[in-house]
Chain A
Amino acid sequence: MAETEKMIFPAQLHQTADGGIVVSKLDDMINWARSNSLWPLVFGTSCCAIEMMSAADAKYDWSRFGFEVARATPRQADLIIVAGTIVMKMAPVLKRLYDQMPDPKYVIAMGACTISGGPFFYNTYSVVKGVDHVIPVDVYIPGCPPRPEALLHAMITLQEKIKHETYFGKAKTEEGK
């Protein structure tokens, strides 16, 4: 099998007389399925949410990568795209939303505000300076707001990350491969 095809479907196909046998690792198969059907939570606080909506429209179309099932409840979502500034009053709510999501769950920090407070870093009294003070983040995207392409890039990066995890344990890198 060619290298590129391997990446798309992580298995080897052995032809037999009456069909074929697929040989793969369970981890790879699960990760393949998981990474291609991430359900994001509809969560937007400010400007980045509009670019997130643009990523869902026909021009950018995130459903090409399996993201189109946006859920309004955290209990059905496994990805939270933090699109917009998080302030002190919102932080407990965000934490609560994150806690309500079933494992395994992922976080994309979209935009400068969620990385560090961004334009609201200096001289503000109510802005959380980086959403990673509240919840763990998997992928950061810079920009104010980032373009929809940047969001797509972040999502594909997240898919790559998921593909390198072991489903019943921690990430491969932490386990010593």
Chain B
Amino acid sequence: MTNEEIKTAVSALFPSVTYDETGEFLTLLITPAEIRSVMKALRYNTEFSFDYMFCLTCIDWKTHFMMVYHLLSKTHRHNIVVKAKIADVNKPEIETLCDIWQTANFHEREVYDLFGIRFLNHPDLRRLLLDEGWDGYPLRKNYVDENMISL
């Protein structure tokens, strides 16, 4: 499918989704509330069948967090990016996707570890890379580490 076709097909299902085409991939901007329904449609509808999530990460924009999901369809060979804006900086939460793509399990734990985003209904949400007792979330822009030596 071309980007235009994906746009029309997604808009037919989810009229509230907005688009951003400035980057390399077509980007879908959604709200955290509708992430499960959008992602399920993208994964299981045969016209999309985005069966391969090749990247899952988060960006700290200080005023909000942006979850970024890169998806690829092995059958149709098309890529998209789905972004979900988490406005609540103090208690960031979003639904997990690890039952849709199993790779999301580890990636979400990594994001939880480094950004402190809580993934609701995640089966095993623990810190992945840092110790359990680590203070703070290091990839946040406001993370302060007194021992860190900066140039």
Give bound CA distance, A121 to B130, whole Å: 18
A150 to chain B, nearest CB (A): 26
| B4 at interface, CB cutoff 8 A | no
Report yes or no: A123 in contact with B151, Cβ–Cβ below 8 A. yes
Interface residues of B (CB under 8 A from A): 130-131, 138, 143, 145, 147-151
Main secondary structure of the interface of B (DSSP, over half): loop
Q: Which residues of A contact B (CB under 8 A)?
A: 88-89, 121-126, 129
Interchain CB contact under 8 A, A125 and B138: yes
| Complex contact A88–B131 (CB within 8 A) | yes
Residues of chain A contacted by B145 (CB below 8 angstroms)? 125
Q: Give min CB distance, B66 to chain A, whole Å.
A: 22
Q: Which residues of B contact A88 (CB under 8 A)?
A: 130-131
Q: Are B138 and A123 in contact (CB under 8 A)?
A: no
Cross-chain pairs A/B with CB under 8 angstroms, 21 sampled: A88-B130, A88-B131, A89-B130, A89-B131, A121-B149, A122-B149, A122-B150, A122-B151, A123-B148, A123-B149, A123-B150, A123-B151, A124-B148, A125-B138, A125-B143, A125-B145, A125-B147, A125-B148, A126-B130, A126-B138, A129-B149
CA distance A74 to B151 in the complex (A): 38
Q: How far is the CB of A128 from chain B (nearest CB, A)?
A: 10
Interface of A is mostly: loop
Told that A122-B151, A123-B148, A123-B150 touch, could you supply 11 new A-B pairs with CB distance under 8 A? A88-B131, A89-B130, A89-B131, A121-B149, A122-B149, A122-B150, A123-B149, A124-B148, A125-B138, A125-B143, A125-B148
Q: Which 8 A-B pairs have the closest CB atoms?
A: A125-B145, A125-B138, A122-B151, A125-B148, A123-B150, A89-B131, A122-B149, A122-B150
Of chain B, the residue at the smallest CB distance from A123 is B150
- B150 and chain A: residue at smallest CB distance: A123
Q: A62 CA to B33 CA in the complex, in Å?
A: 61
Closest to A122 in B: B151
> Could you tell me the distance between the alpha carbons of A129 and B148 in the complex, rounded to whole angstroms?
10
Residues of A within 8 A of B131 (CB): 88-89
- A129: chain B residues within 8 A (beta carbon): 149
Kindly report which residue of chain A lies nearest to residue B147, judged by CB atoms. A125
Contacts of B147 in A (CB 8 A): 125
Separation in Å of the A85 CB from the closest CB of chain B?
Answer: 14
Closest chain-A Cβ to B140's Cβ sits at a distance in Å of 11
* Minimal Cβ-Cβ distance residue in A for B151: A122
- Give Cα A121–Cα B151 distance, bound, in whole angstroms: 10
Q: How far is the CA of A163 from the CA of B143 in the complex (A)?
A: 50
Q: With the chains together, A124 CA to B139 CA distance in Å?
A: 11
Tell me which residues across on chain B come within 8 A of A121, comparing CB atoms.
149
Cα-based distance from A83 to B93 in the complex (angstroms): 40
Return chain B residues, CB-CB under 8 Å to A126: 130, 138
Interface-centre pick from A121, A122, A126, A129 (highest chain B CB count, 10 A): A126
Instruction: Tell me, in angstroms, the Cα distance from A89 to B138 when the chains sit together.
Output: 15
Whole-angstrom distance between the alpha carbons of A52 and B26 in the complex? Answer: 46
Most buried by B among A88, A123, A125: A125
Measured CA separation A124–B143 after assembly (Å) = 12
